[in-house]
Structure 1
Amino acid sequence: MATVRLTNVRPWGGAAADVVMADDRIVDVVPAGSAASDGETTIDGGGRLALPGLLNVHAHVDKSWWGRPWVPAGGAPGTAGRIAHERAERDALGIPSVESTTAVLGEFVRHGTTGVRTHVDVDLGVGLRGIEVVRAAAAALGDAVQVDVVAFPQDGVMRRPGVLDLLDQAAAAGATHVGGIDPASIDRDPVRQLDGLFDIAERHGVGIDIHLHDGGELGAFQLELIAERTLRAGMHGRVTVSHGFALGELSPARQAEVLDVLAEAGIGWATAAPVRSAPLPWREMRERGMPIGLGTDGIRDLWSPFGDGDLLRVALGFARLHALRTDPDLLDVVRLATSHAGGYLGRAAHDLSPGARADVVLLDAENVQDALVRCPPRALVVAGGRLVQRDGEVLV
């Protein structure tokens, strides 16, 4: 095994240590300056703060026009308007493209992201081509970032005959999850959409990740349906709700009622913490054992011109949205973007500890809280035991 020693780093801002890696795993974390074994390759960490690789649990890397001339935002407001605008304009912009998708994944690597769950459009216009594009882009970067694919029916499932078959084909071809979107307001038939998605998931042994934009009681009704269907299918811990804006809009009593149902089903949560959304009851979710992960959502696409691929900035947005100020809370937010998110990428452990995948990010920061509020450049990134970024230059 090729052994690499990352010397003189401060894991989570603690005492100086060396992180010893063999192939793609961390095998030991020892005090800095400990005797090295023969044949080890050493990389000087310069006393920097060390974090586990950032894990982006909700992205849309196939949609981006990154690296192309600026595209003005357009389309009618709301989910339906943006879907229609994207469908009308994407072909003329060459979306999806390997070049733009590779560029976005490269920005993830630059900012220290070593794993991403990305939703990839599957519809009657693009078929499964978006999944092929994403896989080609990941390969172009030497798989420096782990990419898990959600086959995503952005334009609806039941209202577009043939999409369910495409989702079935995507699951058979290796997508880790099948997606859904607003079963009530997009398909206007939540039971049929959920039955179709769960049937595919059960037959192919994949997970489910459902976009839910609907607010208030309409959203809460669908959350309860998703939880009930999850329990019936025996898929505890394998279903994620993305966005789920309704949860933050409910009264405290109703919120607690819905949370209990979601926690019983082991529903996970993915959020990009958008600025005008209602804060989530994230502490209550964590207390009930519900996984919460952070994602960049779309980056410079036909939905929004915003985004730079830095998940640490999303974590900062989460902290601001929830009015967090104390050191323990700020530390917890960074853990949401790193060690707490391992399960979304199928990792039993994701931390700076023996047995975990060798994903390490170094930053010039005093401590974790300083890193969060300043979001400094990532000085060095190791992914799967390989040096993939140094001083802002992507090396793969």
Structure 2
Amino acid sequence: MLITNVRPWGGEPCDIEIRDGVIAALTAHAADRQAPADSVAGRGRLALPAFSDVHCHLDSTRIGLPFRPHTGGPGVWGMTMNDRAHWREDEWGVAERATHTLGRMIERGTTRVRSYAQIDADCGLERFEGVLAAKEAHADRCEVEIMAFPQAGLLKEKGVPELMDQALSSGAAVVGGIDPCTLDRDPVRHLDILFDLAERHQAPIDVHLHEPGPLGVFSVDLILERVRALDMAGQVTLSHAYDLGSVDEATTRRLIEEFAELDIAMATVAPAQHHALPLADLTAAGVRVGLGEDGQRDFWSPYGNADMLDRTWQLAFTNRYRADELIEHCMAVASRGGASILDGNLPRLASVADRPGLAVGDRADLLLLDGETVTSAVMDRSADRTVLHAGRVVADALQLVG
């Protein structure tokens, strides 16, 4: 395939040749070049690596259904119980909702996804199976990694570790954990179970961490201790970790350095809180950082619309970025930053100026997007988009192809 007249990361116009799903050559655009029948007209648009959503909950999405007023109570447990009380009321089942939302994500430029699948005493494996059905429905358009996620904790209800084990034997690829201290109130036992499951299934770990500053640092230190003892560098992601940046400067610096040393990745959803570890400092230290949409118009929150370009804008806005380099960095985090979490063989972003993903040998997961510059495209969020996965067009003008 040949993609004609595009501007990689806003650079000079070029043509991109794709063979066997990867970028084979980039050459200066020649207006008189005869394009093959299966070529894609870039029309001077930007060429960017496609988005990687590393933190979403396809099992809870309500996109496509009538809007429902928010009824959740405060705190993780209150919100969890509100979701439990209502998730079966929806007009569509989990598989239909997850498949619809994943399609909408692909249409808007996402081709790699890590989705949580809630597993607890109430739903058993039903929600996991719904996400698995969505993954299979879009297998040719998007790469989906499913996390077995104990939203209500591992220890508060009987049988959850066994259900997690079943999910990991049935297609889940990641072991999920959540707030070892504030939810399960037994961090040692919680982490014993997580790391045992990870060892038995040879799976990475992703821990939801909402815990406040010093308590969050305590939980993180327990995780770091186990990563060292079990030689699991590069196998752990911390999601949210909203408040780790609220502690003293020396602790903040230590955490960033240890995350880089042990290749602990971080997944953010661009929250409004201002106590997260600083994005630019994490990148400068060599920490993998990815972006996700979290819940998408579900029983937890009315926010989320399946568009990672909107969430990229939010990442820049909540970090108070104005400089073009930093706003473009948010695009790099939302695309190749997240991809490097899902595929540890991909290099970490080297600096806030690093713009990877469009070199010869890179997988041709691409987003062609209208915009004068990358920054203007993040601000304007045009609907003029063409999405490629492994060298094949999977969506155009916000519609799935094929």
TM-score interval for Structure 1 and Structure 2 normalised by the shorter chain: over 0.9
**Residues 38/371 of structure 1: CA separation in 2 closer, same or farther (3 Å cut):** closer
Q: Equivalents in 1 of 2:26, 2:170: separation in Å?
A: 38
The amino acid that maps onto 2:257 is D
1:361 maps onto 2:358 in alignment: no
Equivalent position to 2:41, from 25, 38, 44: 44
- The SS at the match of 1:221 is helix
Equivalent position to 1:107, from 104, 107, 120: 104
- Note the C-alpha offset of 1:197: 0.5
Given that residues 60 and 118 in structure 1 are in contact (C-alpha distance below 8 angstroms), is that contact kept between their aligned partners in structure 2?
yes
**Residues 327/306 of structure 1: CA separation in 2 closer, same or farther (3 Å cut):** same
Unaligned ranges ≥5, structure 2: 347-355
Q: Equivalents in 2 of 1:353, 1:31: separation in Å?
A: 14
Given that residues 112 and 361 in structure 1 are in contact (C-alpha distance below 8 angstroms), is that contact kept between their aligned partners in structure 2?
yes
Given that residues 62 and 96 in structure 1 are in contact (C-alpha distance below 8 angstroms), is that contact kept between their aligned partners in structure 2?
no
Q: Equivalents in 2 of 1:367, 1:379: separation in Å?
A: 15
Q: Equivalents in 1 of 2:147, 2:79: separation in Å?
A: 20
Identity of aligned residues (%): 38
- Note the C-alpha offset of 1:95: 7.2
Count of matched residue pairs: 393
- Note the C-alpha offset of 1:39: 6.3
What do residues 211-261 of structure 1 show as CA deviations (whole Å, max 9, x unaligned)? 000111111111111111111111101100000012121122221133233
Q: Equivalents in 2 of 1:37, 1:206: separation in Å?
A: 47
Q: Equivalents in 2 of 1:57, 1:65: separation in Å?
A: 19
1:134 maps onto 2:131 in alignment: yes
Q: Equivalents in 2 of 1:138, 1:97: separation in Å?
A: 12
Equivalent position of 2:53 in the other structure: 56
The amino acid that maps onto 2:388 is V
- The SS at the match of 2:105 is helix
Equivalent position of 2:288 in the other structure: 291
- Note the C-alpha offset of 1:125: 2.1
Q: Equivalents in 2 of 1:36, 1:194: separation in Å?
A: 59
Q: Equivalents in 2 of 1:298, 1:95: separation in Å?
A: 17
Equivalent position of 1:381 in the other structure: 387
Q: Equivalents in 1 of 2:55, 2:288: separation in Å?
A: 13
1:345 maps onto 2:342 in alignment: yes
Q: Equivalents in 1 of 2:246, 2:121: separation in Å?
A: 34
Equivalent position of 1:21 in the other structure: 18
The amino acid that maps onto 2:204 is G
Unaligned ranges ≥5, structure 1: none
Equivalent position of 1:83 in the other structure: 80
Q: Equivalents in 1 of 2:110, 2:339: separation in Å?
A: 12
Given that residues 242 and 273 in structure 2 are in contact (C-alpha distance below 8 angstroms), is that contact kept between their aligned partners in structure 1?
no
Q: Equivalents in 2 of 1:85, 1:195: separation in Å?
A: 29
Equivalent position of 2:263 in the other structure: 266
- Note the C-alpha offset of 1:279: 4.1
What do residues 132-171 of structure 1 show as CA deviations (whole Å, max 9, x unaligned)? 2122223323431111111100010022221111112222
Alignment of 1:162-311 (within 5 A): 162-311=159-308
The amino acid that maps onto 1:331 is E
What do residues 58-117 of structure 1 show as CA deviations (whole Å, max 9, x unaligned)? 000111122122221112111111011011111222675222111111111121011111
Q: Equivalents in 2 of 1:313, 1:347: separation in Å?
A: 26
Given that residues 64 and 96 in structure 1 are in contact (C-alpha distance below 8 angstroms), is that contact kept between their aligned partners in structure 2?
no
Equivalent position of 1:371 in the other structure: 377
Given that residues 238 and 264 in structure 2 are in contact (C-alpha distance below 8 angstroms), is that contact kept between their aligned partners in structure 1?
yes
RMSD: 1.9
Q: Equivalents in 2 of 1:340, 1:35: separation in Å?
A: 36
What do residues 256-277 of structure 1 show as CA deviations (whole Å, max 9, x unaligned)? 1332333332211000011235
**Residues 277/102 of structure 1: CA separation in 2 closer, same or farther (3 Å cut):** farther
